[in-house]
């Protein structure tokens, strides 16, 4: 994994030109035809490397002229230093530090370098991967009307785990996509596949990026509108989180093998034998099951994740109606 990552980063560095941005692991392309600026994020979590080969392929196509793009697009590799260590992050989760007073850490400094780029984005697509296997790719971000149109038009997956537009992911922290949404613009997170190379992330990322490029140019050229492009694609399935189980103690452990989108019944035991019992309080699909590594002595590696798992379920109505008037 590390050798492949080193190779892909070298390929990125060989072609990438950061343009006006202060962070070097950026490629900036200006087609000169229109100013609409698409920003693509890769490896905001260091070990979610699967989108990098797609990012490199698209940059190589743009640089060699194999792919024409009239608008502006920037790609960034968020946390390769953590990726090279096989880690999600080194000191702080990079996807929590896009605030005015970031921590004095590797990720805090990286977030500050990336903010000018996010300030200039007209739409931001952040490419992530899940820790455990997943039965579906999925979008995950709060509902916003233009974000819905983008997500549906890109058709990268049919699943969107969404929530009320007014809810921050966590208080006292800010995600990259949330930073862009706070500017009133689409900030879209797409979970491609399980983390790593070769799990399907590359293909899905390539499709999402190239569709986003084509859509930006088509909308700028007036051959379609974002809304028309969205309505040409099937409607998404909207899911909401109905339960979050806090990672309340070191003693908790999930039963082996839970995957993202695994169906569970109300009352089903989700804990491992011999650990405090965790029963699903309602039926639905498991999301983000956590199996943190153990350290010597049997405890978990710190910091513990906030949740050990959550359950999602299809929303009872379309978010346009459910969240009517709350859009931002
Ligand atoms: Zn991630």
Task: Taking the CA atoms of 173, 175, 176 and 178 in sequence, report the sign of the dihedral they define.
Answer: negative
Q: What's the 130 CA to ligand 1 centre distance in angstroms? A: 7
Q: Is the pLDDT of residue 46 over 70?
A: yes
CA–CA gap between residue 313 and residue 320 (Å, rounded) = 17
Q: How far is the CA of 53 from the centre of ligand 1 (A)?
A: 16
CA of 128 to the centre of ligand 1 (A): 4
Average pLDDT of the residues of the chain: 96
Distance CA(180)–CA(263), nearest Å, equals: 33
Rounded to the nearest angstrom, the distance between the alpha carbon of 85 and the centre of ligand 1 is 16
Using the mean position of ligand 1's atoms as its centre, give its distance from the Cα of residue 18 in Å.
23
- What is the Å distance from ligand 1's center to 66 Cα? 30
pLDDT cut 70: percent of the chain above it: 98
Distance 141 CA to ligand 1 centre (A): 12
**Residue 171: is its pLDDT beyond 70?**
no
Residues 224-261: tens digit of each pLDDT: 999 999 999 999 999 999 999 999 999 999 999 999 99
b/e map 260-272, b = 16+ CB within 10 Å: bbbebeeeeebbe
Alpha helices in the chain (DSSP H): 2-15, 52-64, 80-84, 106-119, 145-154, 176-181, 201-221, 226-231, 319-322
Expressed in angstroms and rounded, the spacing between residue 213 Cα and the centre of ligand 1 is 22
Residue 220 CA to ligand 1 centre (angstroms): 30
Give how far Cα 150 sits from Cα of 86, 174, 192, 303, Å.
Answer: 32, 22, 16, 35
The Å distance, Cα 234 to ligand 1 centre, comes to: 26
- The domain ranges of the chain are 2-231, 240-328
pLDDT score, position 253 = 97
Q: How far is the CA of 326 from the centre of ligand 1 (A)?
A: 26
More confident of the two residues 1 and 30: 30
pTM, rounded to two decimals: 0.96
Give 48 Cα–ligand 1 centroid separation in angstroms.
6
What distance in angstroms lies between residue 281's CA and the mean position of ligand 1's atoms? 26
pLDDT (tens digit per residue) in 97-131: 999 999 999 999 999 999 999 999 999 999 999 99
Predicted local confidence at residue 170, as pLDDT: 62
248 alpha carbon to ligand 1 midpoint, in Å?
A: 22
Was domain 240-328 assigned CATH 2.40.50.100? yes
Lowest mean pLDDT among 8-22, 137-151, 267-281, 296-310: 296-310
For 161-170, how does the pLDDT look when each residue is reduced to its tens digit (9 = 90+)? 999 987 665 6
Domain 2-231: give its CATH code.
3.40.630.10
Confidence at residue 169, expressed as pLDDT on a 0 to 100 scale: 57
Q: Per mean pLDDT, which range of 53-57, 137-141, 266-270, 290-294 is the poorest?
A: 290-294
Give residue 44 CA to ligand 1 midpoint distance, Å. 6
Whole-number Å distance, alpha carbon 121 to ligand 1 midpoint, is 20
Taking the C-alpha atoms of residue 136 and residue 120, their distance in angstroms, rounded to an integer, is: 31
Tell how far the Cα of 42 is from the centroid of ligand 1, in angstroms.
9
Residue 328 has pLDDT above 70, yes or no: no
**Ligand 1 center–CA 223 separation, angstroms:** 34
């Amino acid at each position: 994994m590390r050798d492949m990552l080193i190779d892909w980063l070298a390929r990125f560095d060989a072609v990438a030109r950061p343009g006006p941005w202060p962070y070097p692991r950026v490629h900036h392309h200006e087609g000169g035809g229109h100013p609409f600026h698409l920003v693509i994020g890769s490896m905001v979590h260091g070990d979610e490397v699967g989108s990098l080969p797609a990012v490199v392929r698209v940059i190589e196509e743009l640089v060699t002229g194999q792919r024409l793009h009239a608008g502006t697009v920037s790609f960034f590799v968020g946390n390769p230093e953590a990726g090279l260590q096989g880690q999600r992050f080194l000191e702080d989760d990079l996807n929590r530090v896009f605030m005015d007073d970031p921590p004095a850490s590797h990720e805090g400094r990286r977030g500050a370098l990336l903010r000018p780029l996010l300030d200039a984005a007209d739409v931001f697509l952040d490419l992530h991967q899940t820790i455990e296997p997943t039965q579906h790719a999925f979008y995950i971000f709060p509902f916003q009307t233009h974000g819905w149109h983008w997500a549906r038009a890109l058709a990268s997956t049919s699943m969107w785990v969404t929530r009320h537009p007014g809810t921050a992911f966590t208080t006292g922290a800010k995600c990259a996509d949330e930073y862009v949404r706070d500017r009133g613009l689409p900030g879209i997170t797409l979970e491609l596949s399980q983390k790593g190379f070769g799990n399907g992330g590359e293909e899905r990322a390539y499709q999402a990026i190239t569709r986003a490029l084509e859509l930006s140019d088509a909308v700028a050229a007036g051959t379609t509108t974002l809304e028309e492009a969205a309505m040409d694609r099937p409607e998404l399935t909207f899911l909401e989180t109905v339960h979050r189980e806090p990672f309340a103690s070191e003693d908790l452990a999930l039963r082996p093998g839970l995957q993202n989108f695994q169906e569970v019944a109300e009352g089903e035991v989700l804990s491992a034998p011999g650990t405090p019992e965790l029963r699903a309080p309602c039926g639905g699909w498991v999301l983000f099951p956590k199996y943190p590594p153990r350290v010597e002595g049997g405890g978990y590696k710190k910091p513990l994740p906030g949740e050990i798992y959550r359950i999602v379920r299809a929303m009872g109505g379309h978010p346009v109606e459910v969240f009517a008037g709350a859009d931002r």
